[in-house]
Structure 1
Amino acid sequence: MLRLILVRHAKSSWSDPGLPDFDRPLAPRGRRAAAWLGEALHRRHLVPSLILCSPAVRTRETLVLSGMKGEVRFEPELYEDRDRDYLEILGNLDGAASPLALVGHNSAMAVTAARLTGGAAVGEFSTAAFAVIDVPAERWQELRAGQGTLVEYCVPPKE
């Protein structure tokens, strides 16, 4: 059994309209939510052995402020494929690292969760939210749409 933790980056800032999307940092609310995210994962004993993270500024900041521990790999495809899903990226992993955390973007987070679980609704996948999905496979290469079970979906508290 493999366990996947899908983590959407915390709320980013739009205060500098000339800043490229890739370089947008977290907003103050996002910084607080990233800290909540780390506490929520810790309370649930969700410690990833491997973390795949988009290299965008807001995902990197979310990762650092959450305090998630584990081997980190920055994967450009997580930013480039943010409007699709992440199943191909996961299926191309060599190995069985579990739990595996993936820190990325919407709409890919919502689509990935829905495709992997056969439609288990997580809605739009809020900023700083995370979904825990169990997959009955031994290696990530065996990953198939519809085979996952949504264990939990958590969103940060409203401010």
Structure 2
Amino acid sequence: MDLILWRHAEAEDLHEGIDDHARRLTAKGQKQAQKMAYWLDSVLPDNCRILVSPALRSRETMIPLAKRMRKFKIEENIAPNADAGALLDAANWPNSRESVLLIGHQPSLGLVAAQLITPTQPECAIRKANVWWITQKERDGEGLRTYLKAIMSPDLVIKS
């Protein structure tokens, strides 16, 4: 199984009078989302299940990928400040046979990454718009092993 963690792109700052769930992407965030959607569309397995936080900035991050004919589901359990267990339950990790892309927030995504790949570290810092790709593979009779397959940043995406 592959578990792909995509932190929402750059959003408006949180300030008094705005609901955290209603923050929108900035112009830079929209460009970040477009670049990452371009890359993800070229590498995601066809059977990838996509779960998106209900926060507006996460849904806006998803829009460029949805325009590429990818279906997704809004998942309440991966809203801001969800715990790592809620994200793993939503993804059905490690029992799912399909790949799962979670589009969400820090620190939740970083807690998941740390739990799966660096258990001695309490949290990983996942930057805005970055993707962390975690996979499980059977290894020479050692059982399932968890690996960090890739980290991708919108700055590294070259659109042709």
Q: Which amino acid aligns with 1:75?
A: E
RMSD: 2.9
CA contact 1:120–1:150 (8 Å) conserved in 2: no
What CA deviation, in whole Å up to 9, does each residue of 1:57-92 have, x standing for no partner?
A: 00000000244643311111101543x312233337
Asked if 1:149 is matched to 2:150, the reply is no
| TM norm structure 2 | 0.77
SS for the counterpart of 1:157 is helix
In structure 1, the gaps of 5 or more residues are 138-145
Asked if 1:126 is matched to 2:124, the reply is no
SS for the counterpart of 1:19 is coil
SS for the counterpart of 1:128 is coil
Seen in structure 2, the aligned counterparts of structure 1 residues 93 and 119 have a Cα distance that, compared at 3 Å, is closer
Q: Which amino acid aligns with 1:126?
A: R
Q: Could you tell me which residue of structure 2 aligns to residue 141 of structure 1?
A: none
SS for the counterpart of 1:25 is coil
Matched length:
146
User: Which structure: larger Rg?
Assistant: 2
What CA deviation, in whole Å up to 9, does each residue of 1:27-74 have, x standing for no partner?
A: 11100100011122234x224521011111000000002446433111
| TM norm structure 1 | 0.77
Q: Could you tell me which residue of structure 1 aligns to residue 70 of structure 2?
A: 70
Seen in structure 2, the aligned counterparts of structure 1 residues 69 and 16 have a Cα distance that, compared at 3 Å, is farther
CA contact 1:118–1:147 (8 Å) conserved in 2: no
Asked if 1:114 is matched to 2:114, the reply is yes
Asked if 1:46 is matched to 2:47, the reply is no
Q: Which amino acid aligns with 1:115?
A: Q
Identity in percent: 24
Q: Could you tell me which residue of structure 2 aligns to residue 30 of structure 1?
A: 29
Displacement of 1:117 in angstroms is 1.7
Displacement of 1:119 in angstroms is 4.3
Q: Could you tell me which residue of structure 2 aligns to residue 57 of structure 1?
A: 56
In structure 2, the gaps of 5 or more residues are 139-143
SS for the counterpart of 1:14 is coil
CA contact 1:38–1:66 (8 Å) conserved in 2: yes
Report 1:85-104 matches (<5 A): 85=84, 86-91=87-92, 95-96=96-97, 98-104=98-104
Seen in structure 2, the aligned counterparts of structure 1 residues 69 and 51 have a Cα distance that, compared at 3 Å, is farther
Seen in structure 2, the aligned counterparts of structure 1 residues 107 and 155 have a Cα distance that, compared at 3 Å, is same
SS for the counterpart of 1:101 is strand
